[in-house]
Amino acid sequence: MKLDPQDIEARFRRHAVRVTRQRAAIYAALVETTSHPSADDLYRLVKRQQPMMSRNTVYYTLGVLRNAGLIREVNVGHDMARYDGNVSLHHHLICLGCGQILDVLDEDLNRLQLSNGQARGFDVLRHRVEFHGYCVSCQQAERNVSPRRK
Amino acid sequence: MKLDPQDIEARFRRHAVRVTRQRAAIYAALVETTSHPSADDLYRLVKRQQPMMSRNTVYYTLGVLRNAGLIREVNVGHDMARYDGNVSLHHHLICLGCGQILDVLDEDLNRLQLSNGQARGFDVLRHRVEFHGYCVSCQQAERNVSPRRK
DNA sequence: TGCTATGTAGGAATCATTCCTGTCTAGCAA
DNA sequence: TTGCTAGACAGGAATGATTCCTACATAGCA
Ligand SMILES: [Mn+2]
Ligand SMILES: [Mn+2]
Ligand SMILES: [Zn+2]
Ligand SMILES: [Zn+2]
């Protein structure tokens, strides 16, 4: 989704986040993609427009935006952290081959909850569902290497 | 669950894993706890019985056992990897305060699957459900610091 | 317009994990 | 039972994503 600078500024102010050129660029990049980029992906992307951008600013800004609730962090295994500009409730479908992350929008998944017995007194704030498998092109790539499915 | 050395040896042989003193100790520690320890937790634990044990051996062994399907890796955020000696299908309840991980056994969660439209051609091999919240003692600890819920 | 709390750049530090290397040994076959 | 060899082990070095530190810059406010 394309965002103009006024929208970004308004969102930042609504969440008490100071408006800077660096933050606007990082946030815009994140909202305008569906690829769930890593901090370093964003660093390289934004550095093209702002060559002085430091890697530290990307990490710091992602922390600020996350704490403000403007973005989400998505964790896949122990690879680099991935970020999501879409904060509406949704889940993910992850390719074990190439690492791509696709959104899964499913109200039934959003409504999952533990029974009282299962929750063991926890105050459960949220849940996460991940589906893991191989995307179409990774399935084909594997077929080229070994004749049959692993 | 308590395992005797013969059981461990039999399981290793069934999965074509070479039997060594180090591996048996690491695997036994993992199966006999429900705490989902990290590699370093296991290192410190097993080092008490085998002072020569190297941290590298723990990592190497955990990799071997994981590839053999004898243990699972559980990832919580980007903290250290956590390991699980229980490979039967189940999910997890995680405390955001102290990091403890409890098992969730629920056949309905085990059966979740994506519709064809949602799967986008993926070959989906498995899924994971995590519930995040605060355990009883972390809820109390927080109450001691600030008068009301965050 | 000036003050000050906050943000930024750049470099150093951290630390879980992986890599490397020289022994050692489990498992197999003669 | 013995000897061979692929694989395992210990210890230390290297890696790399992330965090920490510090001096300078600036957003937001009065
Ligand atoms: Mn998403
Ligand atoms: Mn478990
Ligand atoms: Zn793929
Ligand atoms: Zn807790």
Which residue in A102, A118, A120 is closest to B120 by CB distance?
A102
pTM for the model: 0.90
Strands of chain B, DSSP E: 72-74, 82-84, 91-95, 101-104, 123-134
Specify the DSSP element, H or E, that contains A139.
Answer: helix A136-145
Residue A35 CA to ligand 1 center (angstroms) comes to: 8
- B97-150 pLDDT, tens digit per residue, is 999 999 999 999 999 999 999 999 999 999 999 999 999 999 987 665 543 332
- B12-51 pLDDT, tens digit per residue, is 999 999 999 999 999 999 999 999 999 999 999 999 999 9
Taken in order of first residue, the domains within chain A and their CATH numbers are 5-74 (1.10.10.10), 88-145 (3.30.1490.190)
Residue B126 CA to ligand 1 center (angstroms) comes to: 18
What is the rounded average pLDDT of the residues A59-71? 98
Q: CA-nearest residue of chain A to B109?
A: A112
Question: Partners of A102 in the beta sheet?
Answer: A93
- B40-83 pLDDT, tens digit per residue, is 999 999 999 999 999 999 999 999 999 999 999 998 888 899 99
- A77-118 pLDDT, tens digit per residue, is 888 999 999 999 999 999 999 999 999 999 999 999 999 999
How many contacts, defined by CB atoms under 8 Å, are there between A and B?
Answer: 107
Instruction: Answer for the pair B11, B70: CB distance below 8 angstroms, yes or no.
Output: yes
